Amino acid sequence: MARFLLRRLLVALLVAATVMTVSFLLTRLSGDLAISIAGPNATQQDVELVRRAYGLDRPLWLQYLDWVARALQGDLGESYFFKDRVANLIAERLPITMSLGLVGLCIALAVALPLGILAAVRENTWVDRAVMLVALIGQAMPSFWLGLILMIVLGLRLGWLPISGTGSWQHYVMPGIVLAFSAIPSLMRLTRAGMIDALASDYIRTARAKGLSRLSILVKHALRNAAIPVVSIAAVQLGFMLGGSIVIETVFALHGVGFLAWESISKNDFPVVQAVVLVLALIYVGLTLLADLLNAALDPRLRAA
Amino acid sequence: MSALLEVAGLHVRFGEVAAVRGASLTVARGETHCLVGESGCGKSVTALAVMGLLARGARREAERLAFAGEDLRGLSDRAMSRLRGDRMAMIFQEPMTSLNPSYTVGSQMTEVLRRHRPGTTRARALDRAVELLGRVGITAPAMRLGQYPHQLSGGLRQRVMIAMALMCEPELLIADEPTTALDVTVQAQILRLLAGLQRDLGLAILLITHDLGIVARVAHRVSVMYAGEVVESAPTAALFAAPRHPYTRGLLACVPVPGKVRRDQPLGSIPGVVPRIPPGFAGCAFRDRCAHARPECAAAVPRRAAGPEHEFRCTLAPDWATRAEAALA
Amino acid sequence: MSGAVLAPAAARRHGRLLRHSGLVLGALIVGFVALVALLGPWLAPHDPFAIDLSRRLIPPAWMEGGTAANPLGTDQLGRDYLSRLIYGARISMVIGVLTVVTSGLIGTTIGVLGGYFGGRVDDAVVFAITARLSIPVVLVALTVAGLMGSSFTLVILVLGLLLWDRFAVVARSTTMQIRNLDYVAAAWCAGCSRTAILLREVLPNIASHLAVVATLEMALAILLEAALSFLGLGVPAPLPSWGLMIAEGKEYMFFSPWVIMIPGIALFVLILGINLLGDALRDMIGTDIAR
């Protein structure tokens, strides 16, 4: 077990290193970053000035090492546009994105678990098919479009929730629902499949032969085992949701790191973009590691090994 | 001995497929009753039907299905679950997968007792579990309570299953091929254990098996099942001494008995396999494989008595076998 | 016999019928959109780029103020909405197909190599997949588009280079299963070269699994293109991408919701059709690909 986790940790570190390189190279793709930064109306002299000011005249590998060395100390550089430390900008916005992700995950689990269980218990009935239809619809729904529809219905027509912005908890509800929609189908299918397997298993037959109550059979015995993969996938899903939050934060003008990234992309503010890519990727790596830990904690067979 | 479990005219259908077709058997208090037959003849389904554990989609009908005089047919799911694990318990063929991998042995054992005896403290339930684990021959029982199923061998798991089934002192234990998945040496231990428990606790056991060796060693009474019907039922000694149904005779001919079977004599075998019984089938289901089949076999076959408590279902006269042997000699 | 295995026959038949109807519906939807995309120039009643500022935001024909000349109305620049929708189908289908071809080639190659050779090669492949999964797709695609200027080709390239992970995962695991089968060993013993074995023995046998992945990825690629275009960094402006149409209609959606409903529903139905097709395909070959 310890060996397994150590190996996973090693892989996670290697992935982190790879991601750092990718996010650095990403912003150097366009060729001359200085031209992009200086803007369309800059003269040749301006560009030269920018190039020297940001150290872009140095060889690429030197820039890379410099960036890595600083990043390792928590210094992600300075924003061209916001005139602030990138680390500060991200630290300010990250709680918003994390809250959004958690709200989305909670909604997703609150919907996916009961429906998945219901579908499994009523396998091959109209209930099951109705639930699978919900999954199919959820999968086909473009998130940004769903966001707009919710704005029209819940925001404008019914007036229940604020249409956009960042302020109170209400601002998280609609984006949370939209984000949840992307995770619900897979979590629901997984719950259903896990429950069907569990309910057909020999240990459930034993539990029934013991005369346990229906609730105990369903929750204590079946769900406990079906939940193991769901929990670890949920952690990974949270990572995907954070990565996908850029679309939703932009739709709802929710000022998290996704919105920050979108603003920075349109402003050619590359130190920020590069840092957001890095931070989101690192969070994802951390979450997959967490998923392994959760898996091990929940499954006695892994825990002891 | 009074009847503890009475089953008469039991039918179980899965859609179009009839798995059990009018099976009847009676288990008396404190006796070991063996239900034997080839795979696929409906033994397990009969047991599951008695326990009310059939899969969704199965239809169960019976002329009589009673436990300790109480009719099980009309019982609600809830009332049935009150009975299961308390007064009637069951163990299964697959000890490797029959325990929940996520909970400790102790947790799974105490949960039965606390379900059926509300108010039992955890400590008392654990004491009872330790006592029973010791009773089924597990060393260091207190240590086992904290272990998970995957940490135990197959034999140990089956012992845990047996101990768990005994938590509420049931009157009837149904054991569905409890030794099939185990090593031969372990098989003997488990059988000895079951026989001992039956003697000491006055337990009635319905033991399902396809192994006639087991039957000869532990059973008081034997019912032979074929294609969803009980074709012969008799006290063990009577059945082995004078089997009446051609199928029973065929089964017995497959077992080598030292002293009785000569060294170079080939072992018997029954040609063919258990047929799939189509809906609306009438007559003896064994007639396609039977050397004595006659035109009458296609009609309804009566149940005949061949002696005290010895019944069989065949068109042949009760003494056909003895006459045939006499004719040969 | 174990009774638990036997499901009621009636329910199974019912399930098969329903799955069958899913296949038919999915095939109908995808076939219809593909046909519309193919015949676009002949089907479109107007030039999708022709601006007429005097006829802006005319609602669809069935609504008050609609005209038969513009069955689905006009957009904020007076362009015929039906014609733009038809041309949008072309964009979605072309991007979906080309992205899947690109990512399928990359993913399958990587996955088959890892699955076939195992050992160090496989470690590297698994690592590549892990690293790829940790990179947020939308963010990276937007960044690249922001830096290099968005274009139709760029969207296909970026998505193609990013969405190969599931192809690799499935190709790797199915190849692993096949590698150990007797006929592959027989081919090896018969003196076939590695390339021949991979192309002639392995690939045809994992093709059905890859086809399922292809439907999933095509749906994903179309959704991502729409999202990128919606954010203004996908298919550039005069082109009628459905995502872009939704973005352009966004300002008017509170007063004329149909502006975003029409392209949104088109997108939704197409994705639904592709997914139905994929599900039916998966049920037919009985694979178990998590989604």
What is the tens place of the pLDDT at every residue in C63-78? 777 777 777 778 878 7
Indicate whether B208 belongs to any domain.
Answer: yes
Asked if C6 is an interface residue toward chain A (Cβ–Cβ < 8 A), one would say no
Asked whether residue B200 falls in the same domain as residue B277, the answer is yes
Amino acid at site A235: A
**B115 with A206: Cβ contact below 8 A:** no
- A239 pLDDT exceeds 80? yes
Q: How many contacts (CB atoms, under 8 Å) link A and C?
A: 146
Chosen for mutation from B82, B102, B171 (greatest number of chain A CBs closer than 10 Å) is B102
The last residue of one of the domains, among B128, B153, B169, is B169
Asked if B40 is an interface residue toward chain C (Cβ–Cβ < 8 A), one would say yes
CA distance C277 to chain A (A): 11
Confidence band for C107, pLDDT divided at 50, 70 and 90: very high
Residues of C in Cβ contact (< 8 Å) with B55: 3-7
Asked whether residue B112 falls in the same domain as residue B224, the answer is no
Among the partner-chain residues B83, B85, B102, the one whose CB lies closest to the CB of A300 is B102
Helix (H) or strand (E) holding B133: helix B122-135
Residues of A in Cβ contact (< 8 Å) with B86: 211
Assign residue B30 a region (left: φ > 0; alpha: ψ between -120 and 50; beta: otherwise): left
Tokens read off for B260? 């009785």
Minimal Cα distance from C1: which residue of B? B40
User: What are the helix (H) ranges across chain A?
Assistant: 2-27, 33-38, 44-53, 60-72, 86-121, 126-140, 143-150, 170-199, 202-209, 214-215, 224-252, 257-266, 270-298, 300-304
Distance between CA atoms of B5 and B204, rounded to whole angstroms? Answer: 9
Among the partner-chain residues C148, C246, C279, the one whose CB lies closest to the CB of A145 is C246
Asked whether residue B209 falls in the same domain as residue B298, the answer is yes
Residues of A in Cβ contact (< 8 Å) with B81: 208, 211-214
pLDDT tens for C181-197 read 777 777 777 777 777 77
- Count Cβ atoms below 10 Å from residue B228 Cβ, excluding itself: 27
Indicate whether B92 belongs to any domain.
Answer: no
Q: What is the pLDDT of residue C1?
A: 34
Can you give the residue range of the structural domain that contains B163? 97-169
Q: What is the pLDDT of residue C6?
A: 37
Asked whether residue B177 falls in the same domain as residue B154, the answer is no
Asked if B170 is an interface residue toward chain A (Cβ–Cβ < 8 A), one would say no
Higher model confidence: residue C48 or residue A1?
A: C48
pLDDT tens for A98-141 read 988 999 999 999 999 999 999 998 888 888 888 988 888 888 89
Asked if B39 is an interface residue toward chain A (Cβ–Cβ < 8 A), one would say no
Give Dmax over CA atoms of chain A in angstroms. 85
CA distance A122 to chain B (A): 10
CA distance A218 to chain B (A): 13
Asked if B99 is an interface residue toward chain A (Cβ–Cβ < 8 A), one would say yes
Question: CB–CB of C211/C281 below 8 Å?
Answer: yes
Tokens read off for B169? 């002192």
Indicate whether B293 belongs to any domain.
Answer: yes
Distance between CA atoms of C93 and C238, rounded to whole angstroms? Answer: 18
Q: Looking at this predicted complex, what is its ipTM? A: 0.85
Residues of B in Cβ contact (< 8 Å) with A205: 53, 92, 98
3-state secondary structure (DSSP) of residue B208: strand
Asked whether residue B151 falls in the same domain as residue B72, the answer is no
Asked whether residue B145 falls in the same domain as residue B242, the answer is no
Residues of B in Cβ contact (< 8 Å) with A228: 102
Question: CB–CB of B170/B83 below 8 Å?
Answer: no
What angle (nearest 5°) sits at the alpha carbon of residue B167, between those of residues B47 and B112?
80
Residues of A in Cβ contact (< 8 Å) with B82: 211
**B98 with A210: Cβ contact below 8 A:** no
Among the partner-chain residues B90, B101, B102, the one whose CB lies closest to the CB of A209 is B90
Among the partner-chain residues A205, A266, A281, the one whose CB lies closest to the CB of C135 is A281
Could you list the pLDDT tens digit for every one of the 329 residues in chain B? 478 998 988 888 887 778 888 888 889 888 999 998 887 788 889 999 999 888 878 888 888 888 888 888 888 888 888 899 889 999 988 888 899 998 999 999 999 999 998 888 999 999 999 988 988 888 888 899 999 998 988 888 888 998 999 888 899 999 988 888 778 888 888 888 888 888 888 899 999 988 888 888 888 899 998 888 888 888 888 888 888 888 888 888 777 665 555 666 666 677 777 777 777 777 788 887 877 777 878 777 878 787 778 888 888 777 776 776 676 66
- A303 pLDDT exceeds 70? no
Indicate whether B222 belongs to any domain.
Answer: yes
Distance between CA atoms of B232 and B321, rounded to whole angstroms? Answer: 14
Distance between CA atoms of A139 and C163, rounded to whole angstroms? Answer: 17
**A206 with B84: Cβ contact below 8 A:** no
Name the B residues in 191-210 with CB < 8 Å from any C CB.
none
Q: Which residues on neighbouring strands pair with residue B173, listed in sequence order?
A: B89, B205
Asked whether residue B285 falls in the same domain as residue B187, the answer is yes
Helix (H) or strand (E) holding B303: strand B303-307
Chosen for mutation from A144, A153, A163 (greatest number of chain C CBs closer than 10 Å) is A144
**C7 with A244: Cβ contact below 8 A:** no
- A152 pLDDT exceeds 90? no
How confident is the model over C140-162, as a mean pLDDT? 86
**C8 with B57: Cβ contact below 8 A:** yes
- Taking any CB pair shorter than 8 Å as contact, residues of chain A touching chain B are 201-203, 205-214, 216, 221, 224-225, 228, 298-301, 304
Residues of B in Cβ contact (< 8 Å) with C11: 57
CA distance B179 to chain A (A): 16
Torsion sign (Cα): C37, C42, C43, C47: positive
Asked if B84 is an interface residue toward chain A (Cβ–Cβ < 8 A), one would say yes
Confidence band for C19, pLDDT divided at 50, 70 and 90: low
Minimal Cα distance from B41: which residue of C? C1
Asked whether residue B164 falls in the same domain as residue B106, the answer is yes
- Taking any CB pair shorter than 8 Å as contact, residues of chain C touching chain B are 1-11
Among the partner-chain residues A151, A152, A265, the one whose CB lies closest to the CB of C143 is A265
- Provide the number of structural domains found in chain B: 2
**B115 with A207: Cβ contact below 8 A:** no
Assign residue B243 a region (left: φ > 0; alpha: ψ between -120 and 50; beta: otherwise): beta
> Subunits touching A (CB < 8 Å, at least 3 pairs)?
B, C
Question: Which domain CATH number covers B47?
Answer: 3.40.50.300
The last residue of one of the domains, among B154, B169, B184, is B169
- Count Cβ atoms below 10 Å from residue C66 Cβ, excluding itself: 17
C-alpha to C-alpha distances, C8 to A123, A165, B60, B289, nearest whole angstrom: 11, 53, 14, 30
Asked whether residue B213 falls in the same domain as residue B255, the answer is yes
CA distance A196 to chain B (A): 13
**A140 with C260: Cβ contact below 8 A:** no
**B14 with C4: Cβ contact below 8 A:** no
Indicate whether B241 belongs to any domain.
Answer: yes
Among the partner-chain residues B14, B42, B44, the one whose CB lies closest to the CB of C6 is B14
Confidence band for A41, pLDDT divided at 50, 70 and 90: confident
Say which residue the tokens 């326990």 belong to: B51
Residues of B in Cβ contact (< 8 Å) with A224: 100, 102-103
Average pLDDT, chain A: 84
Asked whether residue B65 falls in the same domain as residue B156, the answer is no
Average pLDDT, chain B: 84
Indicate whether B314 belongs to any domain.
Answer: yes
Distance between CA atoms of B218 and B7, rounded to whole angstroms? Answer: 22
Domains along chain C? 74-290 (1.10.3720.10)
Asked whether residue B163 falls in the same domain as residue B197, the answer is no
Indicate whether B281 belongs to any domain.
Answer: yes
Distance between CA atoms of A54 and C87, rounded to whole angstroms? Answer: 44
Asked if B169 is an interface residue toward chain A (Cβ–Cβ < 8 A), one would say no
Residues of C in Cβ contact (< 8 Å) with B59: none
Asked whether residue B208 falls in the same domain as residue B272, the answer is yes
Indicate whether B179 belongs to any domain.
Answer: yes
Name the C residues in 238-257 with CB < 8 Å from any A CB.
243, 246, 250, 253-254, 257
Highest mean pLDDT among A204-208, B213-217, C42-46: A204-208
B237-266 as b/e, with b when 16 or more CB fall inside 10 Å? Answer: ebbbebbbbbbbbbbbbebeeeeeeeeeee
Strand blocks (E) in B195-270 = 204-209, 221-226, 229-235
> Subunits touching B (CB < 8 Å, at least 3 pairs)?
A, C
Asked if A286 is an interface residue toward chain C (Cβ–Cβ < 8 A), one would say no
Asked if C7 is an interface residue toward chain A (Cβ–Cβ < 8 A), one would say yes
**C250 with A148: Cβ contact below 8 A:** yes
Q: What is the pLDDT of residue A110?
A: 93
| Residue B1 CA from chain centroid, whole number | 19
**A26 with C7: Cβ contact below 8 A:** no
Question: pTM above 0.90?
Answer: no
The last residue of one of the domains, among B120, B147, B169, is B169
Residues of C in Cβ contact (< 8 Å) with A156: 254
